């Protein structure tokens, strides 16, 4: 058996007794297919174009109305010796290295220190750039959350997760599910494409892991017709993201009280959706109920493994959020700047 055929083996991804033939369109049912996801790649690039237009024509004037302006920092003077060290070794040289660089560049120690401070400031993203990025994400998350509500409000599995597996795998794909998946996956693809020029935060690596795990999870759930649980996972994630991006915008606009209030609400919603609903409803649904119908198989463990990766990231972010709330509740909102 070739590696490709082995990878797509029925025994790996589907419960015992089922094959890919069971997911072929028949009896009036239309099933999700891997080829349906090809459109997410051009859609991701379309999102990049829409984002560019949105940030230029909507987010920038909105930032100006909030008193946020583009501030051009003082540029560090051209110095090949210091620039080479900055780009290849460290942005924050130790004192011994500063002394050595001072001799190589024919500058005083104080001038070298000043150069590195200016160079770091030069690379630091401005508030306007952060505001535009947060505005774009906020608009998408609001649209995605509202769209998810409309796609799921009348579905029985939203209120009874046992219904996720009723009739599996003979569950016909709905148009609302198709577009919900395509738009969400396209957006996360857009985030990965734009990571090179987006603002890099302290949890940059965790964000990359999150985006990749989300795309793998959604792709797998689509291919094996786990669409019902996939839509629930997306809805739970979008709920708190709306509040986080809102808090960022008010932070950049220096509306401290509003930022504090929204961040506290965000923290509560995050804990409820990501640390209660996600593990005790959704992971419980994917871990307990399927084995009532089929014996465990590789795809079962793989899907739950991806959910556990997301849960670990949620716990990491929950720790940061609790620490943030503890710090700024009795101080100023300035402590949030490193997080937001």
What string of DSSP letters covers 241-284? HHHHHHHHHHHHTT-HHHHHHHHHHHHHHHHHIIIIIIIIIIIH
Percent of the chain with pLDDT over 90: 52
* Residue burial 270-289, b: 16+ Cβ < 10 Å; e: rest: bbebbeebbbeebbebbbeb
Of 232, 224, 162, 187, nearest to 50 by C-alpha is: 187
> Pick from 325, 334, 329, 200: which is nearest to 254 by CA?
334
Both ends of the chain: CA-CA distance in Å? Answer: 51
Q: Is the pLDDT of residue 199 over 70?
A: yes
Q: How far is CA 295 from CA 20, 22, 260, 291, in A?
A: 17, 18, 48, 5
What's the rounded mean pLDDT across residues 147-156? 95
SS3 29: strand
Query: Token pair of 175, please?
Result: 């148009």
Q: Is the pLDDT of residue 152 over 90?
A: yes
Pick the closest to residue 34 from 186, 224, 306, 230 (CA basis): 224
Q: Say if residue 318's pLDDT is above 80.
A: yes
- Please state the pTM of the whole predicted model: 0.86
Residue pair 163/156 in contact (Cβ under 8 Å)? The answer is yes
CB–CB of 226/303 below 8 Å?
yes
Token digits of residue 340: 């937001």
Q: Are 315 and 233 in contact (CB under 8 A)?
A: no
Residues 173, 230: contact at Cβ < 8 Å?
Answer: no
What number is the average pLDDT over the span 328-334? Answer: 60
Exposure of 63 in the CB half-sphere (CA atoms within 13 A): 26
Give the model's pLDDT for residue 52: 94
In this prediction, residues 145-174 reach a mean pLDDT of 93
Contact 141, 238 (CB under 8 A): yes
Which residues are 26's β-sheet partners? Answer: 29
**Residues forming beta bridges with residue 29, ordered by sequence position:** 26
Q: How far is residue 13's CA from residue 7's CA, in Å, rounded to a whole number?
A: 9
Question: Which of 57-66, 80-89, 189-198: highest mean pLDDT?
Answer: 57-66
Predicted confidence band of residue 212 (pLDDT cuts 50, 70, 90): confident
Q: Which of 269, 259, 248, 260 is closest to 318 using CA atoms?
A: 269
pLDDT range class, residue 2, cuts 50, 70, 90: low
Highest-pLDDT range among 199-203, 315-319, 321-325, 334-338: 315-319
Of 48, 255, 66, 234, whose CA–CA distance to 143 is shortest?
Answer: 234
Question: Cα Rg for the chain, rounded, in angstroms?
Answer: 24
Q: Give the residue-averaged pLDDT of 235-250.
A: 94
Distance separating alpha carbons of residues 159 and 226, to the nearest angstrom: 17
Question: What integer is the mean pLDDT of 88-99?
Answer: 87
Say if residue 333's pLDDT is above 60: no
pLDDT of residue 335: 52
**pLDDT tens digit sequence for 254-285:** 898 899 899 999 999 999 999 999 999 999 99
- Kindly report the number of other CB atoms within 10 A of residue 295's CB atom: 10
User: Residue 5: what pLDDT?
Assistant: 61
Whether residue 50 is predicted with pLDDT greater than 90 in this model: the reply is yes
Question: How far apart are the C-alpha atoms of 19 and 275, rounded to whole Å?
Answer: 35
Return the pLDDT at 155.
95
- Mean pLDDT score of the chain, rounded to an integer? 88
More confident call, 338 vs 35: 35
Q: Are the C-beta atoms of residues 180 and 234 closer than 8 Å to each other? A: yes
Q: Of the ranges 3-12, 214-223, 312-321, which one carries the lowest mean pLDDT score? A: 3-12
Q: Is 174 helix (H, G, I), strand (E, B) or coil?
A: coil
pLDDT of res. 340? 64
pLDDT at position 107: 87
């Amino acid at each position: 058996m070739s590696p490709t055929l082995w990878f797509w083996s029925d025994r790996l991804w589907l419960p015992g007794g089922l094959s890919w033939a069971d997911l072929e369109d028949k009896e009036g049912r239309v099933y999700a297919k891997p080829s349906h996801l090809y459109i997410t790649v051009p859609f991701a690039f379309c999102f990049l174009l829409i984002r560019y237009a949105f940030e230029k024509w909507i987010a920038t004037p909105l930032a100006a109305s909030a008193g946020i302006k583009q501030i051009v920092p003082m540029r560090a003077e051209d110095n090949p010796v210091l620039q080479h060290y900055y780009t290849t070794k460290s942005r924050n040289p130790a004192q011994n290295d500063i002394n050595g660089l001072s001799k190589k560049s024919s500058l005083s120690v104080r001038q070298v220190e000043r150069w590195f401070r200016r160079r770091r400031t030069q690379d630091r993203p401005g508030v306007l750039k952060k505001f535009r990025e947060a505005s774009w994400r906020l608009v998408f998350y609001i649209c995605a959350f509202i769209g998810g509500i409309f796609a799921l409000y009348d579905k029985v599995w939203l209120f009874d997760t046992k219904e996720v597996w009723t009739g599996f795998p003979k569950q016909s794909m709905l148009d609302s599910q198709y577009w919900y998946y395509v738009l969400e996956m396209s957006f996360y693809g857009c985030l990965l494409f734009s990571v090179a020029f987006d603002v890099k935060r302290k949890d940059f690596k965790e964000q990359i892991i999150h985006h990749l795990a989300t795309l793998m999870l959604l792709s797998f759930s689509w291919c094996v017709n786990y669409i019902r649980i996939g839509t629930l996972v997306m809805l739970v994630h979008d709920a708190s993201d709306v509040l986080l991006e809102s808090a960022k915008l008010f932070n950049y606009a220096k509306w401290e009280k509003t930022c504090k209030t929204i961040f506290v609400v965000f923290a509560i919603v995050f804990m409820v959706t990501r640390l209660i609903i996600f593990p005790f409803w959704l992971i419980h649904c994917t871990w307990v109920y399927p084995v009532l119908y089929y014996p465990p198989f590789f795809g079962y463990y793989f899907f739950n493994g991806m959910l556990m990766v997301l849960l670990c990231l949620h716990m990491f972010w929950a720790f940061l959020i609790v620490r943030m709330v503890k710090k700024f509740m009795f101080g100023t909102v300035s402590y949030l700047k490193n997080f937001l």
